[in-house]
Amino acid sequence: MAPTPMILSAFFFNPQGDHRMSWRHPDAPGREIFDLSYYRRLAEAAEAACMDAIFVADHVAMWDSYESNIAHYANARLEPITMLAALAAVTRHIGLLVTASTSYSEPYNIARAFASLDHISGGRFGWNVVTSGMNEEAMNFGRDANIEHASRYERAEEFLAVTKALWDSVEDDAILLDRRSGFFADPRRVHRVDHVGQHFKVRGPLNVPRPPQGHPVIVQAGSSEDGKDLAAKHADLHFARIRTIEEGKRYRKEFDERLQRFGREPRDFKVLPGILPIVAQSRAEAQDRRDFLETLVPARVGIDLVSSWCGIDLSAYPIDDPLPPLPDISTYDGQRANLERLMGFAKERLTIREIARRISNAGTGPVMAGTPKDIADEMAAWHEAGAADGFNLMFPLLPGDWLSFAELVAPELQRRQLTRSEYASGTLRDRLGLRRPVNRFRSECSHASAKSSRSDEP
């Protein structure tokens, strides 16, 4: 049996790159980040390199809790569903993974939008499910502060269950378009959901046919216990914060056990650690580029970032002292994965300045800097050790790092037969080796029909 190809997802959050202050780089794009042609160039390069997907992260607010954020870091960006819908029309094969919040959306609207996108793209869309952990986001939706952490995940669990039911509510063969009989659809294969829960009341059915993939690919990136449980129950792809091969192997083992608790099989769940590739013609050049990126972050922005991760304004604390006592993670309503990471830094006795520098420049993903061969060697080692099913490629500077990877590293991975060199037919699910979900209503109908047939037997 041939080995499973390494999955490559080309990621961005900031339109100029995943370094916190990439927009300050002399090679960074300017106002073209608000024009479709910029993203089309990136998409075409990724598709020419046979990457599996483009993934766009999102917040539904500007980060401005601290005084320097609006001036320095609160990057404006295009709404990602709109943008990727446009890219669906100018690409043919590559998957399109887009973020939408369960805290500030409704299941019917999300189910309808993603079913439509899956049809428009020929089965290439995926939904990155987020619960939104910033107070700034809550304030745009009628609240004074963030939704409590446990409630966010309870809502997300119910949201996903309802959305999946809506995708199943019009069965694959329900649409008849029978001009002679006058039946547009088979009424036996169109179902109301009739959901009444703690957070939602939804009748259904969805007024869009079932998506080509059954369900668009579900992506989840939360690394708190609640987030990992949500991923184990529902996700197909999991974007993980892993820094070493050994950590990745432990993480995969933990998730395989978690999947079994929820009645799922490991083959239906792919783990993609985030990495920051910096491609250069020599290791010295790659290090120079990495060092230059570190000069772009004003000290105040780094301190604000650490403050946002722990919910404490650190501007009054000495920058060369360790962190003050951090909040209790069990009652913290922000992003617990970030707080947990800070707790690890606190155990190392890092100063506020050292922490700010570390997370400002590389976040929590490992930097892979070097020649195309160096980066391919490192990625291959992770994949072959079972620490990663693929990678979420978080390019520090766009478009340069994205284009360099597509032109230099991707061919090296293909030469080693680690990644695909051409797209197979089928949907994104098919290419990722993910099974098409069984329609819950169809299985119920089949069971009822079988029971009826048995009752008619003499």
Is pLDDT of 70 > 70?
Answer: no
The pLDDT assigned to 299 comes to: 76
171's tokens:
């069965």
Averaged pLDDT for residues 174-199: 95
pLDDT in tens, 113-147: 999 999 999 999 999 999 987 888 888 999 888 88
The pLDDT assigned to 212 comes to: 98
- Euclidean distance between the first and final Cα of the chain, in Å? 48
pLDDT in tens, 409-457: 999 999 999 999 999 999 999 999 999 999 999 855 544 443 443 333 3
pLDDT in tens, 377-391: 999 999 999 999 999
**Domain regions of the chain by residue span:** 7-279+365-438
The pLDDT assigned to 181 comes to: 93
Contact 212, 192 (CB under 8 A): no
Averaged pLDDT for residues 313-321: 88
Please give the radius of gyration of the chain, using alpha carbons only, rounded to the nearest integer: 23
Averaged pLDDT for residues 336-360: 83
- Beta-carbon neighbour count of residue 283 at 10 Å? 12
Which of 60 and 45 is assigned the larger pLDDT?
A: 45
The pLDDT assigned to 447 comes to: 47
The pLDDT assigned to 449 comes to: 45
What pTM was computed for the model? 0.87
Residue pointed to by tokens 């745009």: 140
Is pLDDT of 96 > 90?
Answer: yes
The pLDDT assigned to 454 comes to: 38
| Residue 145 CB-density burial (10 A; 0-12 exposed, 13-18 middle, 19+ buried) | exposed
Peptide bond into 399 cis (omega under 30): yes
349 — alpha (psi -120 to 50), left (phi > 0) or beta? left
Which of 359 and 246 is assigned the larger pLDDT?
A: 246
The pLDDT assigned to 451 comes to: 45
The pLDDT assigned to 458 comes to: 32
12 strand-pairing partners: 56
201 strand-pairing partners: 196
Exposure pattern of 419-446 as b/e (b: 16+ CB <10 Å)?
bbeeeeeebbbebbebebbebebbeeee
Please state, for a pLDDT cut of 90, what percent of the chain lies above it: 67
The pLDDT assigned to 65 comes to: 59
Is pLDDT of 3 > 70?
Answer: no
Q: What is the mean pLDDT of the chain?
A: 90
Is pLDDT of 259 > 70?
Answer: yes
Domain 7-279+365-438 has CATH 3.40.50.10160: no
